A = this chain, B = another copy of it.
Amino acid sequence: MEKRWSFLDAFEDNFRPLVVIELAKGAKEETIEWFTKRIVDKKANGGAQLLVKPLVTENEGENIYLVGASPLRLLLGAETVGLVKECNDNSMRTFTYSSRKTFKDFADDNHNFLTMAECQYIIKHELENLRAKDEKMIPGYPQAKLYPGKSIVRRLLTSGVLVQIFPLHDREELKKLRHSWYGRVKVGYQPLDDIRCYFGETIALYFGFLEYFTFALIPMAIIGIPYYVFAWEDYDKYVMFATFNLLWSTVILEVWKRICAIVTYRWGTLLMKRQFEEPRPGFHGVLGVNPVTGREEPVYSSIKRQLRIYLVSLPFVCLCLYFSLYVMMIYFDLEQWAMDYHEENQSNFSNLMLFVPSIIYAVVIEMMNRIYRYAAEFLTSWENHRLESSYQNHLVLKVLVFNFLNCFASLFYIAFVLFDMKLLRQSLATLLITSQILNQFAESLLPYWLQRRHKKKMKKRMCSLKTDTDLSLVEQVSLEKEMGTYFGTFDDYLELFLQFGYVSLFSCVYPLAAVFAVLNNITEIYSDALKMCRVYKRPFAEPTANIGVWQLAFETMSVISVVTNCILIGMSPQVDALFPDSKMDLVLTVALVEHLLLAIKFIMAFVIPDKPRDIQMKLAKLEFESLEALKQQ
């Protein structure tokens, strides 16, 4: 076996394993040989020109390979993926190999110029872009068809020959990161740049947003406390508080865009050009010609997809929404029953029972959200979207609509049908707190505990009692390949989105919501950090320049919250008392104020520039330079 790798011997001493490839246990010899050959083959021959080493584990039949690359290969790869790095003159520029000397910290012997996460991203990109030439199928698997230009890795994945590809942790770096991130008790910012170096921009941006959002909530929380403690609502009728909240939520969302631009400019992703999007792995269809690329690839009729969306997915989503409302009505029956019980018995126990329906309902909501999530994923995958981005958009839309209704329908019902402010306050508190506790538990603590148990078992089996950092490579890979996979920031953002809903939609009824949100987010930072560092496999870095569709989702929520808060204030008895003669005047005033606030919101969003002036200048400078360069040609 070793003989085949002899031509790699020259690299042996500086071979640094970056990415692990796990092939199926029974994978055929000829398939493995062909695949590894393609990985190490020269670019000119259609290979990826990377380095591969088999990993010999004690388990029989395991096919695990380590992938690395020479420093030169990585630099060329950085040019291919269009990485943007800082130059000696402090400007950010797209890296090219020929201009490498002008970049900060570049030296031919400095192998830290590219971070490990960047190297792994480059290798992932190169592996995914390893394309079939004239192969008609995967050698050894005649049923796994190939056609010129088809990504080999994707076909291997869908045909089950390839189990997984994942980047290796860097034990040393991870330890340092863990220490500076959550290892010591301290007040301060997260080490965002370190997180970005280790986990990539998408994850770092999530933590950046989480931190920013928590800080942004603090003013709301601070203003909310005296309202709760001293019952200030009697004096100013929550009007000040709600108005502040509404304008504040607009400001924080606009300011986030600016901060996001500053951060991603520093990281270089703001300037990164979008790559051409290939079909997602799950996409299937009849072989045809892509009208855009002119290449042969599976095509799937857009009409068929539309039919699936409108005739199956849409009715299904509506059915789920109906079911969710049905469950809500059951909850109200339970609530009524608990109240009757309390009136009959008037005991401490019956008083406690008052909270039970809300808690049960909160648990049911969480469960329904999770079950629906799987259904939505299945349906969206079945809709057979060609691009990952379009898949994501349809998934996000489905999940957002359902979760919004599922979480907030009962609150809307209580507020605007039952007009029961006391119940609203109680339900809001119960829902918010229960869902936060459940989330933290289900998301981080439970997996962490499972992971620890598993690790202990593994260690016992290996009969070694070494500490984490002393693990041999074989042991490290064996441990990591069994860890769970982190499926992206979707669920984390969703959680924040719903929390934002609890805080802003009914802010004038329960000012303490912001306080609980802040408390939750502080622990959330730690539990999410723990999750990233301890529970899951290292995820591949994904360059990104913004939080994407979530910005829109948060902005929509803040528009809806203007409407709900205005109505709630209009309904409060204190404001009611201001218009003793005419309810008509009250309603008209509320409507006028609502429209004014909405107008102010939109004007503010329009007037506040999305990028700070100095970032605008830097971008203008780069654009000017590229135009000048074009002229020179």
Contacts and interface: CB of A to CB of B under 8 A. Distances in A.
B621 A292 contact: yes
Given A584-B584, A587-B591, A595-B563, A291 B617 contact: yes
A276 interface: yes
A292 B293 CA distance: 37
Interface in A553-593: 563, 583-584, 587-588, 591
Contacts of A275: 627
A563 B602 CA distance: 16
Interface string A290-303: 01110000000000
A620 interface: yes
A367 B201 CA distance: 57
A270 to B, nearest CB: 17
A623 interface: yes
A141 interface: no
A623 to B, nearest CB: 7
Contacts of A595: 563
Contacts of A441: none
Contacts of A11: none
Nearest to A80: B631
A150 B591 CA distance: 55
Contacts of A587: 584, 587-588, 591
A624 interface: yes
B627 A292 contact: no
A389 to B, nearest CB: 13
Contacts of A617: 291-292
A229 B275 CA distance: 60
A292 B620 contact: yes
Interface of A: 80, 275-276, 291-293, 563, 583-584, 587-588, 591, 595, 617, 620-621, 623-624, 627, 631
Given A293-B621, A583-B584, A587-B587, 16 more contacts: A80-B631, A276-B623, A276-B624, A276-B627, A291-B617, A291-B621, A292-B620, A292-B621, A292-B624, A293-B624, A563-B595, A584-B584, A584-B587, A587-B588, A587-B591, A591-B591
21 contacts: A80-B631, A275-B627, A276-B623, A276-B624, A276-B627, A291-B617, A291-B621, A292-B617, A292-B620, A292-B621, A292-B624, A293-B621, A293-B624, A563-B595, A583-B584, A584-B584, A584-B587, A587-B587, A587-B588, A587-B591, A591-B591
